[in-house]
Structure 1
């Protein structure tokens, strides 16, 4: 069983632990019909990309948190923050005091379908495990992560993975290529529960269905297929619902296509939009053209897959 790299050092007191953790995108997001318990089965293919938050865990007499960068002054720094909940849950499971000062420096946009909150929670689990010198296996951290949310286990692991259940059951998959993306962060936010609700409403009216076939996509990833092979296999069952709630997203999607993107895709529950580029040069050029259009408040060029949460 693989051990998480949690090293002990002789020192007068524990040093701060800095963890870098990536955003995620969904190359495929299949959403099942609403179940009697209110949840939806998911079939998703995750990829971690090179847009990072940083979590710093410092020794303290009691827990506290602060946020800089994206979301500063907006995100709560109490138990409503998923990173804080991660620290409290880990301390409870390990039977240690939740004595940590968390500093979250955010670049991943808020409520953009890129799992920024889940990334912070994953980074916090790893940082606090190191700070508190806990002997935890990778599987044990992933198990704790699953109790925090469907995207948290993947943000801990990174690279490429197949997610099932509510997305919390994560199975790494073979992927040998590198892909180039432009991430357009549209104005405003979309509530994930609201988008799920719109998926249900549209299905009740005969619009949309559950797409759970991912074998062709996984084959292309395993073979290192290029962008032209990958593009036609990208899919998101939540896209119609996101556009229904935010009609302006249709223009953002169309802009990427007209500017030469290999494929365009709503990221997760939106409103962030992804554009697949052929290579680095194409990605930078595409990002520049999209910035000139002014349709999004942020444009990022990123690559993937990248590693999950790592101590740095």
Structure 2
């Protein structure tokens, strides 16, 4: 049975461990990743339309949307693609107004677009009464992007394949992070392309597993150990495209962060800290040095879910 109004949220993510294999024939890279969902949530408010139209809008005033006038609100947006894919899969003919609230940095390496898609799938599935279960939504999500299934799942998980083969880690162990967004974005395909150029002529193996010591440190909230085990194979490529990230990373570690790393394809930097008090200290120490507003988040966070349905 259809609803009139639904609000759903989905989390951004940090890759604590990210190994990248060589490019496949289809252009994708196989990875071994340890994802954690963070308490930075994208939100989709869906209201029912009986005319079958899809209409997207953007919540004004978001600090992560630098150019709202040029924010895509048409068929190229993953929210639109998610809603349309759900309709095609289920035969639903209803429409929706889909209002997007952005909190995850855009093109920041934290899966914000994937979180939008996950929240849209959950919101529209509830709004239209299409009744797909989590497994079915996950399969649809994988068609939209490699990170969408994890945004649906949330928590912490190991990702293999192109990141879509997920094995959840059942842990409530908390980690605390400070995020330093950039005033610019980095295209994920461009970062991967740079990685391939930097590796030209090298023998690169397909990653098969996660270092068990990383999993152990995360499961036990051993931030000191975890800080020594964080790995991101995309870092070199991100720094080649945006060398200033190296300077900001050094500032962050100089301000007391246990470790500062590029999140995913960047350019957001994720700073591992001991706890909320330590996070505040690091943020205060950084002050205005990095030129952008820092933010504190915790992990793990729940996956995409309905917040309101009426």
Q: Could you state the TM-score of these two structures normalised by the residue count of structure 2?
A: 0.92
Q: State the distance in 2 between where 1:203 and 1:56 align.
A: 43
Q: Is structure 2 residue 5 aligned with structure 1 residue 16?
A: yes
Q: Which has the higher contact order (CA 8 A, sep 6+)?
A: 2
Q: Is structure 2 residue 229 aligned with structure 1 residue 233?
A: yes
User: Which of 177, 182, 185 is the equivalent residue of 1:186?
Assistant: 182
What's the CA shift for 1:176?
3.1
User: Which of 301, 305, 308 is the equivalent residue of 2:300?
Assistant: 305
Mean Cα displacement is larger for which, 102-111 or 60-69? Answer: 60-69
Q: Is structure 2 residue 93 aligned with structure 1 residue 104?
A: no
User: Which of 214, 217, 221 is the equivalent residue of 1:217?
Assistant: 214
User: Which of 108, 118, 121 is the equivalent residue of 2:114?
Assistant: 118
Partner of 1:27: 16
Q: State the distance in 2 between where 1:19 and 1:98 align.
A: 18
What's the CA shift for 1:207?
10
Change (3 A) 1:166 1:102: same
What's the CA shift for 1:93?
0.3
Kept in 1: contact 2:223–2:272 (CA 8 A): yes
Q: Is structure 2 residue 280 aligned with structure 1 residue 290?
A: no
Kept in 1: contact 2:17–2:210 (CA 8 A): no
Local SS of the residue matching 2:190? helix
Kept in 2: contact 1:174–1:221 (CA 8 A): no
Partner of 1:134: 130
1:104-136 residue CA offsets vs partner (Å, 9 max, x unmatched): 011111100011111000000000000011222
Give the gaps of 5 or more residues in structure 2: none
Q: Could you state the TM-score of these two structures normalised by the residue count of structure 1?
A: 0.91
Kept in 2: contact 1:88–1:98 (CA 8 A): no
What's the CA shift for 1:210?
6.4
What's the CA shift for 1:289?
2.0
Q: State the distance in 2 between where 1:168 and 1:296 align.
A: 35
Partner of 1:48: 37
Kept in 1: contact 2:176–2:275 (CA 8 A): yes
Name the count of aligned residue pairs.
299
User: Which of 190, 194, 199 is the equivalent residue of 2:195?
Assistant: 199
What's the CA shift for 1:296?
4.2
Q: State the distance in 2 between where 1:299 and 1:145 align.
A: 30
Give the gaps of 5 or more residues in structure 1: 1-7
RMSD between aligned residues: 1.7
Q: State the distance in 2 between where 1:194 and 1:20 align.
A: 28
Q: Is structure 2 residue 158 aligned with structure 1 residue 167?
A: no
1:29-61 residue CA offsets vs partner (Å, 9 max, x unmatched): 111012233221111111111111110010012
